[in-house]
Structure 1
Amino acid sequence: MTLWTQEAMNARLVRYADLIPCRTAFIDTKTPGSTEKENFTIIGAGVSESADQHVHITEKHGFNIGAARQPFGCVNSQHSHDTAEVFMIHSGRWRLLFGPNCEDGSLEIGPGDVCSVPIHMFRGFEKVDEGKGMLFTVLGEDDPGKVTWAPAVFEAAADHGLKLTKGGMLIDTSDGDYKLKEVELEDGIDPDAIAELRTPPLEKLQECIATYDSVRQAPNPHSPLAAEGVEEAGIITPRPTRDGFPAGPISGWWPQDFNLRLLTLQTGAYVPLHSRQEAEVLIVQEGTLEVSWADGAIVMGAGDTLTVPIGLVHAFRNTASVPAVAFVARGTEDPGLPVFQS
């Protein structure tokens, strides 16, 4: 039986202030308009193409947690994923751009909003208000594969000396082609494959967005965590779950591989000691949240991420004067009931 000391649990906590960015994570890192973005891999290696990317927590969870931080006007270029990609907006306003050349429309989302973008379609995003903003991401599966870039992104990167190997590793050839002698380069996507990555109609994509206000106004009264001052709302629920959540509001027509919830504790509210049998990752959106267990406690602030060990008996409390709100990713499409201590 693992003893979860304070030190051991601290190693499962990633403070916002301690996040280590990578500015060379992807092939568009030198493309004008994209040079200022910072990429973070918090749990799992995600789809980063750079050997310089720091992975904060390598333990497999069944999904990956990452983040991007960008200033006004900075663009994350058009790409497609083979597994679910979910955006949770921590700060700032963002425009999601669809189609290989952004020709298929856009949707705008802001703080607390969530969007799960369907697999096998081109998407990108840009920061549209002043200052820097932050969004967290969830990628489905332990190995989410590699990114498929739109042809224009591939061509622009090549103009700045950046190439991809067949394995999805980024190589900078600007200081000489000698580096390419022993690797096979990615050729980019062919026109027939592009035709397969069609964008659904914008009204269909609206089903993939849950706004912060709508989620907070619709807590699940049947959540086993529900109590005085405690609310848990479903965000991504592909199908009805054993712990009492109906499908939706985002269910998707592609595999999600996890549930995403919103947990809100009012001042003084408490969730008593309990354990779960699936991965549980908390990302605080606002306020502070205390997570305690037999041998210690951690107080999380806005932007902090904590992965709770499977089977650990733990509790939540809000000791601050403002509500504590946290996104909770559960590592299955069908989470079971928590086991409360008598």
Structure 2
Amino acid sequence: MSTLNDRIVRYGELRPCKTAFIDAHTPGSNQKENFTIIGGGVSESPDQHVHIRDTPGFNIGAAGQPPNCRNSLHSHTTAEVFFVLKGRWRFFWGRNGDAGEFIAEEGDIFNIPTGIFRGFENVGTDYGMIMAILGGDDAGGGVTWAPQVIEEARAHGLVLGNNGVLYDTKQGQELPHNVQPIPTLTEVQMKDFPETPVEAVVPRYVARYWDLMALSGKQPAKVIGTDALLKDKPGFEVDFLSRTSLDDSPITPDKHVVLMPMRGHWALRVGDFDTVLNPGDTCLLKPGESYSLAPSMTGEASLYRVTETDDPAGATWSGAA
């Protein structure tokens, strides 16, 4: 039986994987680190460490990258939500990454539409970190790479099999006899991925940190959900808490909840257990597990809270503004 300590992953204890994806050898992408915090995540490498294997209807992960390092263009069939924990990031999308882009600052959150190719890079001056919420229990089942990403990876020795496993030909690895390289999409198939302009994405799928701070003065700000700032049904809801959003009354959720501090130190009490959650920490709470939460020190304090819902694990993107 797991204890609450088993369901808290501290930022300083995160274990990265540097060979998680097909572009791990591609110049410009070969310094990125992937973190799988809750659930199996989307890694294609058997070297990926999973901190908490429970899947509360969604996955939690993170990406860490030095300046000028990028994550290559890919698409998801389920939700992919990022908030910037550290640094400054450029998100871009489209077949060649030039259909639209925007710069995300610390605390900003982006509910990336499904069905479009997307990528991101650290455009700050220091090592950066973005936290991820991925829809569904099997977040790795719906990832598609842009054709040029697969071709560039092959040129640098990495081949992704149709079994979802990476093989490094420069290390002498060969695909098993019953495994074929994952095929690149045809031109006809590529037409199913829209070249969505920035004005159709940013207003509907991006929430800025300081706007959320202003909205969370007396109660949590609803960020993602049917009646939230970013209206969607991706299989979870997200709200944003600041210093004055909650009192110290116990809360008893009927679904899984994940707490992800952005700024400040948060005192968490679950039954007789007391702890402090810090920026970059991740805590999984089970249904029926009463908790109270409050900032433990003076100064700026903010936290993202993710709650499981019964909705299917896909965003409601329809391609329309």
**Which stretches in structure 1 are left out of the alignment for 5+ residues?**
220-228, 240-246, 335-342
Query: How far apart, CA to CA, are the structure 2 residues paired with 1:33 and 1:181?
Result: 32
Query: How far apart, CA to CA, are the structure 1 residues paired with 2:193 and 2:106?
Result: 29
1:62 corresponds to which of 57, 75, 92: 57
| Residue 147 of structure 1: how far off its partner (Å) | 1.6
Gap change, CA 1:178 and 1:233, over 3 Å in 2: closer
- 2:240 is matched with which residue? 262
Q: Is 1:131 matched up with 2:136?
A: no
Tell me the secondary structure at the aligned position of residue 305 of structure 2. strand
- 2:143 is matched with which residue? 147
| Residue 273 of structure 1: how far off its partner (Å) | 1.6
Give the letter for the 2:39 counterpart. Answer: G
- 2:316 is matched with which residue? none
Query: How far apart, CA to CA, are the structure 1 residues paired with 2:197 and 2:189?
Result: 19
Structure 1 vs Structure 2 CA RMSD: 1.8
- 2:219 is matched with which residue? 231
2:266 corresponds to which of 289, 301, 313: 289
1:69-102: per-residue Cα shift (whole Å, max 9, x none)? 1111001000000101101111111111111211
Max radius of gyration: which structure? Answer: 1
Q: Is 1:217 matched up with 2:214?
A: yes
Give the letter for the 2:88 counterpart. Answer: R
Give the TM-score, by structure 2 length: 0.92
Higher relative contact order (CA 8 A, sep 6+): 2
Give the TM-score, by structure 1 length: 0.86
Tell me the secondary structure at the aligned position of residue 230 of structure 2. coil
Q: Is 1:100 matched up with 2:95?
A: yes
| Residue 179 of structure 1: how far off its partner (Å) | 4.2
Moved more, 11-20 or 182-191: 182-191
| Residue 37 of structure 1: how far off its partner (Å) | 0.5
Moved more, 170-179 or 124-133: 170-179
1:196-240: per-residue Cα shift (whole Å, max 9, x none)? 011322111011100011112123xxxxxxxxx763111111x1x
Alignment of 1:155-304 (within 5 A): 155-176=151-172, 178-206=174-202, 207-219=204-216, 231-237=219-225, 239=226, 247-252=227-232, 255-266=233-244, 270-304=247-281
| Residue 118 of structure 1: how far off its partner (Å) | 0.7
Query: How far apart, CA to CA, are the structure 2 residues paired with 1:333 and 1:231?
Result: 24
1:237-266: per-residue Cα shift (whole Å, max 9, x none)? 1x1xxxxxxx231114xx411111101125
1:306-325: per-residue Cα shift (whole Å, max 9, x none)? 01121012111222122431
| Residue 285 of structure 1: how far off its partner (Å) | 0.3
Tell me the secondary structure at the aligned position of residue 273 of structure 1. coil
User: Structure 1 segments of 4 or more deviating over 4 A?
Assistant: none
Query: How far apart, CA to CA, are the structure 1 residues paired with 2:64 and 2:310?
Result: 28
Q: How many residues align structurally?
A: 309
Asked if the contact 2:167–2:173 (Cα under 8 Å) also holds between the matched residues in 1, the reply is: no
1:43 corresponds to which of 25, 38, 44: 38
Query: How far apart, CA to CA, are the structure 2 residues paired with 1:93 and 1:333?
Result: 33
**Which stretches in structure 2 are left out of the alignment for 5+ residues?**
312-321
Asked if the contact 2:247–2:294 (Cα under 8 Å) also holds between the matched residues in 1, the reply is: yes
1:14-70: per-residue Cα shift (whole Å, max 9, x none)? 000000000000000000001111100101111111111011111121111100011
Query: How far apart, CA to CA, are the structure 2 residues paired with 1:300 and 1:281?
Result: 12
Query: How far apart, CA to CA, are the structure 2 residues paired with 1:11 and 1:28?
Result: 32
Query: How far apart, CA to CA, are the structure 2 residues paired with 1:285 and 1:322?
Result: 13
Q: Is 1:332 matched up with 2:320?
A: no
Tell me the secondary structure at the aligned position of residue 72 of structure 1. coil
Tell me the secondary structure at the aligned position of residue 154 of structure 1. helix
Asked if the contact 2:109–2:208 (Cα under 8 Å) also holds between the matched residues in 1, the reply is: yes
Q: Percent of counterpart pairs with the same letter?
A: 38
Gap change, CA 1:106 and 1:178, over 3 Å in 2: closer
Gap change, CA 1:104 and 1:88, over 3 Å in 2: same
| Residue 271 of structure 1: how far off its partner (Å) | 2.4
Asked if the contact 2:78–2:142 (Cα under 8 Å) also holds between the matched residues in 1, the reply is: no
Tell me the secondary structure at the aligned position of residue 3 of structure 2. helix
Gap change, CA 1:177 and 1:286, over 3 Å in 2: closer
Tell me the secondary structure at the aligned position of residue 36 of structure 2. strand
